[in-house]
């Protein structure tokens, strides 16, 4: 297998053997896969390519090999990386970790790849980081086949009632319920859900979106906590929370 100049992003990297790197990569046409960059750390003092082997940089990667792990043969920039600092950097790390945890290897998602590039750009520019994250999460769920409607009861098929309360069911999506009936099962206001369905994340709807998406994603992430979320909380003395 030989692939040339594939639009890609690096999600994560780690040292391998004495001087190489293992790269976890998200490609437009090949999905998530692992590449080994041989001698990358040995070339770090004088080589220019290693400086590109970082998350969030749009890249064109060439690689080859017959085994599960391919060998990186060429890298060049395909654009300018967004300037992510502070909360925006942690949010980018969070998105990368979601992809690492939820994407199957060698499963192409060209629309999700485009959504990812859009999300990175929005993290660099948008005033509302949370809105960017919620949009990406919803798009990710849709791409993976886990999407659900914010405007319709997934069990009855009826429209969400502004006066109603709803629970999330992994099998159906949002279903009618009663607020406070079960403390272990969060309830969400129909009025706020309808705002979210219209892309309106102001006021209390922002908090509802965060709580809802955390509950939904936990169904698919399993019991292991997200490292980026723990890191964000450990570095956020103001107590802000967007993930």
Q: Which CATH class is domain 2-77?
A: mainly beta
Contact 67, 51 (CB under 8 A): no
Q: Give percent of the chain with pLDDT exceeding 90.
A: 74
We find that the CATH architecture of domain 87-234 is: Up-down Bundle (1.20)
Contact residues for 185 (Cβ-Cβ < 8 A; gap 6+): 167, 177
Cα–Cα distance between 44 and 13 in angstroms, integer? Answer: 14
Please give the mean pLDDT across all residues of the chain: 90
Contact 66, 23 (CB under 8 A): no
Task: Give 75's strand partners.
Answer: 61
Q: Is there a common fold for 2-77 and 87-234? A: no
Give the HSE-up count for residue 105: Cα atoms under 13 Å, Cβ half-sphere.
7
Residue 21: C-alpha distances to residues 15, 56, 69, 71, 163 (Å): 5, 17, 12, 10, 54
pLDDT of residue 180: 82
214 vs 225, higher pLDDT: 214
For Cα atoms 61, 144, 75, give the angle at the middle one, nearest 5 degrees: 5
In terms of C-beta density within 10 A (0-12 exposed, 13-18 middle, 19 or more buried), how is residue 37 classed?
Answer: buried
pTM (predicted TM-score): 0.89
Contact 133, 242 (CB under 8 A): yes
Mean pLDDT of 218-233: 81
Contact residues for 124 (Cβ-Cβ < 8 A; gap 6+): 82, 83, 84, 88
Judged against a pLDDT cut of 50, whether residue 239 lies above it is answered with no
Domain boundaries, given as residue ranges, for the chain: 2-77, 87-234
């Amino acid at each position: 297998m030989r692939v040339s100049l594939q639009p890609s992003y690096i999600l994560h990297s780690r040292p391998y053997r004495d001087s190489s790197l293992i790269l976890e990569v998200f490609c437009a046409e090949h999905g998530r896969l692992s590449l080994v960059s041989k001698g990358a750390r040995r070339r770090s003092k004088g080589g220019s390519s290693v400086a590109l082997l970082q998350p969030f940089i749009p890249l064109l990667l060439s690689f080859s090999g017959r085994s599960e792990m391919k060998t990186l043969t060429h890298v060049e920039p395909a654009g300018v990386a967004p300037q992510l600092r502070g909360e925006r950097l942690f949010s980018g790390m969070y998105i990368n970790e979601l992809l690492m945890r939820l994407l199957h290897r060698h499963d192409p998602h060209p629309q999700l790849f485009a959504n990812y590039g859009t999300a990175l750009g929005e993290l660099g520019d948008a005033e509302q980081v949370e809105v960017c994250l919620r949009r990406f999460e919803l798009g990710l769920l849709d791409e993976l086949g886990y999407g659900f409607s914010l405007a319709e009861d997934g069990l009855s098929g009826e429209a969400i009632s502004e006066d109603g309360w709803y629970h999330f069911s992994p099998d159906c999506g949002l279903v009618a319920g009663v607020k406070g009936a079960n403390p272990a099962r969060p309830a969400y206001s129909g009025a706020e859900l309808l705002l979210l369905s219209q892309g309106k994340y102001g006021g209390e709807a922002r908090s509802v979106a965060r709580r809802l998406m955390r509950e939904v994603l936990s169904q698919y992430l399993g019991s292991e906590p997200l490292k980026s979320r723990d890191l964000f909380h450990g570095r956020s003395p103001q107590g802000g929370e967007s993930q």
